[in-house]
Amino acid sequence: MVVKDVEKELLPKAMAILRDRLPPDWSVEEVMYNAGSGQADNLWEIRGPSSSSRGLIVEARASLSPRDVQLMLGGGLLKRLRAVGGDPILVVAPFVSPRSRELLVEEDVNYLDLTGNLRLVLSNPAVFLETRGADQNPFAKPRRARGLRGAKVGSVIRVLVDARPPYGVTEIADAARVTPGYVTRILETLSAEALIERGAARGQVIDVNWQGLIRRRAEALDLLAPHTSSLYIAPNGARAFLQELRGEPEEKFVVTGSFAAVRLAPIAAPALLVLFTPSANKDRLAGRLNLLPAPEGGDVALVRPENTNVYLNVREEEGLLWAAPSQVAIDCLSGSGRMPSEGEALIAWMADNEKSWRSSSLSDLKMPEWVPG
């Protein structure tokens, strides 16, 4: 393989970083290496204090997006690299994003970037190195970022998470109640992050990493943001207050957060009851329900959602309305205290019970009749 100039400059810098991270009695050196077509860029030798050594196949990339990693891992390159003597692989790039790191670790591929992100695991000589560098690319050219914040992107993500593919752009747009052009732009972003896979025919979505989508969406949100939520104390406790809501005919409360999560994946007694409410005046509503204002330390949170996608696939059970597991997971991960741990436990439950919550087609997704169109 002919190594590009930028990759030639990258390799010595990467080796210097690795030398700096290894213990003083360890060494790493370049080995004379005649790479064939489709093989690695370089071969390094790591030597331990007992003179035991191991080759390290180095694949250098001038840039490395999650989509690049996905193509590299699935396109046969990984198999060809491992065929070169069976040595472990080290992928080197100026920057390796958190999502790219996650994909590489899943395939036991080591990585190193110039910001200090490093993971190197060898069995003989035994070594485990893992250091954290930047999570944002300091070398990226300024451009308009397309994040996963906002009502419309939230609708698209809920559709992708809650229904199994395949489906096309127009079908997604209809289900999410957004334009096909908007869906196309969002799918491009998600594909670049290897959160979805698209088929060659007409760009259909054929696979969705729904766990990754839930986590990425949660990163862009704050469930208990002051402009949408208010905290209160229930005089008899949050659990008793939840039972009282069974007889509440005037308001459509939807339970999310901890109480909804531990109902499916219990890890500890829930502390904060989070309720979605369409009411514009939360304090007036709280007064009617005998809730006491508590800017800090409350056990009930009333949240007025900024969009209606949170109500997709709401279920009525035991006289109460419950948010869909996907929405509950997003809310917990974007919450506070132990809520993120409850969200991760719920995601694990969802993976084991996918048929119980994920629709087989977009047509099975339901929005409650009381939600305004």
The residues, ordered by sequence, that sit 6+ positions from 328 with a Cβ below 8 Å of its Cβ are: 256, 257, 260, 261, 264, 322, 343, 346
Per-residue pLDDT, 64:
86
Domain boundary among 80, 99, 131: 131
- 270 and 347 both lie in a single domain: yes
DSSP characters over 119-175: EEEEETTEEEEEE---SS-TTSPP-----S-SHHHHHHHHHHHHBPSPB-HHHHHHH
Q: Which amino acid is at 100?
A: S
Number of domains in the chain: 3
Nearest alpha carbon to residue 331 among 256, 248, 244: 256
The enclosing domain of 199 has a CATH number of 1.10.10.10
Give domain status of residue 103, yes or no: yes
Give domain status of residue 247, yes or no: yes
Give domain status of residue 139, yes or no: no
State both tokens at 312: 């997709």
DSSP state, residue 76: S
Per-residue pLDDT, 143:
46
B/e letters for 134-166, b = 16+ CB within 10 Å, e = fewer, are: beebeeeeeeeeeebeeebbbbbbbbbbbbbbe
- 329 and 237 both lie in a single domain: yes
Q: Cα–Cα distance between 105 and 119 in angstroms, integer? A: 9
Number of H helices, E strands in the chain: 14, 16
- 321 and 250 both lie in a single domain: yes
Give domain status of residue 200, yes or no: yes
**How high does pLDDT run on average in the chain?**
87
Per-residue pLDDT, 40:
61
The enclosing domain of 65 has a CATH number of 3.40.1350
B/e letters for 103-131, b = 16+ CB within 10 Å, e = fewer, are: bbeeeebbbbbbbebbbbebeeeebebee
- 213 and 242 both lie in a single domain: no
H or E element in which residue 67 lies:
helix 66-74
B/e letters for 303-332, b = 16+ CB within 10 Å, e = fewer, are: bbbeebbbbbbbeeeeebbbbbbbbbbbbb
- 38 and 110 both lie in a single domain: yes
Q: Cα–Cα distance between 80 and 152 in angstroms, integer? A: 42
Percentage of the chain lying above the pLDDT 70 cut: 88
Q: Which amino acid is at 173?
A: A
In the chain the beta strands, taken as DSSP E runs, fall at 27-30, 42-47, 53-60, 89-93, 110-113, 118-123, 126-131, 196-198, 205-208, 229-233, 254-256, 273-276, 292-293, 300-303, 315-317, 320-322
What burial class does residue 210 get, using C-beta atoms within 10 Å of its C-beta: 0-12 exposed, 13-18 middle, 19+ buried? buried
- 183 and 237 both lie in a single domain: no
CA dihedral 245, 246, 248, 254 (to 10 degrees): 70
Reported confidence tier of residue 195, pLDDT bands at 50, 70, 90: very high
Reported confidence tier of residue 6, pLDDT bands at 50, 70, 90: low
> Does the pLDDT at position 246 exceed 90?
no
The residues, ordered by sequence, that sit 6+ positions from 109 with a Cβ below 8 Å of its Cβ are: 73, 78, 89, 90, 91
Give domain status of residue 138, yes or no: no
Give domain status of residue 210, yes or no: yes
- 177 and 88 both lie in a single domain: no
Q: Which amino acid is at 159?
A: V
Q: What is the 3-state composition of the chain as percent helix, strand, coil, each rounded to the nearest 5?
A: 40, 20, 40
Give domain status of residue 198, yes or no: yes
Find tokens 């752009």 and name the residue: 169
Reported confidence tier of residue 2, pLDDT bands at 50, 70, 90: very low
Answer with the residue of higher pLDDT: 275 or 126.
275
Alpha carbon 361 to chain centroid, angstroms: 23
- 13 and 66 both lie in a single domain: yes
- 279 and 330 both lie in a single domain: yes
Q: Angle 337-231-326 (CA atoms, 0-180°, nearest 5)?
A: 55
Per residue in 38-77, pLDDT tens? Answer: 456 688 999 988 878 888 888 888 888 887 888 788 766 6
Domain residues for the domain of 320 are 229-352
pTM of the predicted structure, to 2 decimals:
0.69
| Residue count (the chain) | 373
Residue 359 pairs in a beta bridge with: 163
Q: Cα–Cα distance between 146 and 184 in angstroms, integer? A: 13
> Does the pLDDT at position 210 exceed 90?
yes
- 212 and 262 both lie in a single domain: no
Nearest alpha carbon to residue 184 among 197, 168, 195, 200: 168
> Does the pLDDT at position 298 exceed 90?
no
- 122 and 165 both lie in a single domain: no
Give domain status of residue 24, yes or no: yes
> Does the pLDDT at position 172 exceed 90?
yes
In 2-86 the beta strands, taken as DSSP E runs, fall at 27-30, 42-47, 53-60
Q: Cα–Cα distance between 351 and 317 in angstroms, integer? A: 22
- 124 and 15 both lie in a single domain: yes
Per-residue pLDDT, 62:
83
Q: Cα–Cα distance between 66 and 117 in angstroms, integer? A: 15
